[in-house]
Structure 1
Amino acid sequence: MASTDDNGVAGYDILRAPGASGGTFTQVGTSTTTSFSDTGLTPSTTYRYQVRARDAAGNTSPVSNTAELTTQPGPSSGTCTTVPTVQTQWGTGYVIQPLTITNTGTSTITGWTATFTLPAGHTLSGSWNGTATVSGQTVTIRNVSHNGTLAPGASTTSVGFQATRPNGNTALPSGYTCA
């Protein structure tokens, strides 16, 4: 640190430049810890960052080495719906197939995520043609490579899942959403 006094680090200046090369580094924030969250970035865009330490007297260190990152792709520009169809059910379980995902927007979507809530005591026991994750009673199913791109008005009906439930409980999942 370019400090000439005995003050410790009081904070950090975070500098950012656009792109993988060129552009000017400008200060985009400060932090009193070694963490910083940069918000409002453009999807699928490369940024470069540098950091410099600052002491209580305002002295600053030379900038750090440059770190580069590329933001994740943004959401598709379309909208979608998720409609379940009960194929079969029995005392301790059921199958939802198809779980129809339809692009209701005016532009092609290149990925979708369906979310719904399992009733208390129900457990997802299998799924197909989607990548399923469970958190508590919330199930999230994301497209796989062959069914993620949907033109306006198009649907995929290849997605489905099976769940178990306590014997005699006839409740079914609810709160279906699509993004």
Structure 2
Amino acid sequence: MPASAGSRAAAAGLSRPCHHHCTPHTAGYTIVNSWQGGFQGEVKVTAGPSAITGWTVRWTFANGQTVSQTWNATISNSGAEYTARNVDYNGRLGAGASTSFGFLGSWNSTNTAPTLTCTPS
């Protein structure tokens, strides 16, 4: 799929901001690109009105998606439940500052964007 597919995917509602458990800090999920059986995801973590020294983002894939490679975060999973934690160089965020991490994943028939929860530390 061409690179512009990611912007079409985001416009189609595949980018979901985290509305609960994140206030005042947020995390948003975007499918950057997608192809038959695979996709590239990105999560943007933004600090709220105060600085944070670290963050954890959690989500559950509903359609059997899996993550095979990641950058700018440490990701672990238990089945469909995923946890991403900051790495040394992107955990400290000033008020209103943001960072992002990405990953490559696979999917079978549907690639529904998950709802994220984020916890600052």
TM-score by length of 1: 0.51
Contact 1:91 1:170 in 2 (8 A): no
Contact 1:83 1:100 in 2 (8 A): yes
How far did residue 107 of structure 1 move?
2.0
Contact 1:116 1:173 in 2 (8 A): no
Q: Counterpart in 2 of 1:82?
A: 27
1:175 aligns to what SS in structure 2?
coil
- Which one has a bigger Cα radius of gyration? 1
Match for residue 41 of structure 2 among 76, 96, 99: 96
> 1:89 and 1:119 mapped to 2: Cα distance?
17
User: Which has more helix, going by share of residues?
Assistant: 2
Q: How does 1:31-70 map to 2 (within 5 A)?
A: none
Contact 1:117 1:173 in 2 (8 A): no
- How many corresponding residue pairs? 97
Structure 1: 5+ residue runs without aligned partners?
1-77
> 2:59 and 2:111 mapped to 1: Cα distance?
13
Letter in 1 for 2:25: C
Q: State the structure with bigger RCO (CA 8 A, min sep 6), 1 or 2.
A: 2
Deviations 1:5-46 (A, max 9, x none): xxxxxxxxxxxxxxxxxxxxxxxxxxxxxxxxxxxxxxxxxx
2:89 aligns to what SS in structure 1?
coil
> 2:71 and 2:38 mapped to 1: Cα distance?
16
How far did residue 79 of structure 1 move?
4.0
Could you tell me the percent identity over the aligned residues? 37
Letter in 2 for 1:148: G
TM-score by length of 2: 0.73
Letter in 2 for 1:89: S
Q: Counterpart in 2 of 1:16?
A: none
Q: Counterpart in 2 of 1:156?
A: 99
Q: Counterpart in 1 of 2:107?
A: 165
Contact 2:59 2:116 in 1 (8 A): yes
How far did residue 110 of structure 1 move?
0.2
